[in-house]
Amino acid sequence: MKQTQKKFQGSFFNCLMANNETIPVVGEYVTEIQYYDRKVHRVKAINGKKVTIQYCKQKFTGKVIGEQYWEIVPTDFTFDVIHRYGGWYRINNEFEKPQYIKIRLAFNVCDPYYHWEF
């Protein structure tokens, strides 16, 4: 993974994961990086700079010291993201004019995590 120079807030490990320029591949996992947590989805389709992502439900299956184990189940719900201005933006089409919401993604990575203290 190529590292990029960007400002980031959140846990140190999430900062390292989000600071990359990975390329999406259809059928591979994508990790959505939040402040502390990480959610896993799947890339469903690629159309130029627009990528359709399929939500995955994560079911906690157990924990060993320092490790979390999750069962990842794809759902029918999808959303679109687009690459613009050097980052990924989720497209919200609920209104007349589409809204672009910044989202941090790491493609080809399947690493769910839930921070239990929040």
Report yes or no on 31 lying in a domain.
yes
What predicted TM-score, i.e. pTM, was given to this entire model? 0.73
Report yes or no on 72 lying in a domain.
yes
Query: Which of the pair, 114 or 103, is modelled with greater confidence?
Result: 103
| Domain extent at residue 82 | 25-107
Tokens at residue 78, please?
Answer: 């999808």
Number of domains forming the structure of the chain: 1
For the ranges 13-17, 39-43, 60-64, 103-107, the maximum mean pLDDT occurs at 39-43
Instruction: Render pLDDT for 58-104 as a digit per residue (tens, 0 to 9).
Output: 888 877 666 777 788 888 999 999 988 878 899 988 888 889 988 88
Question: Phi-psi bin for 27: left (phi > 0), alpha (psi -120 to 50), beta?
Answer: left
Question: 23 and 107 in contact (C-beta within 8 Å)?
Answer: yes
Report yes or no on 37 lying in a domain.
yes
Report yes or no on 114 lying in a domain.
no
Report yes or no on 117 lying in a domain.
no
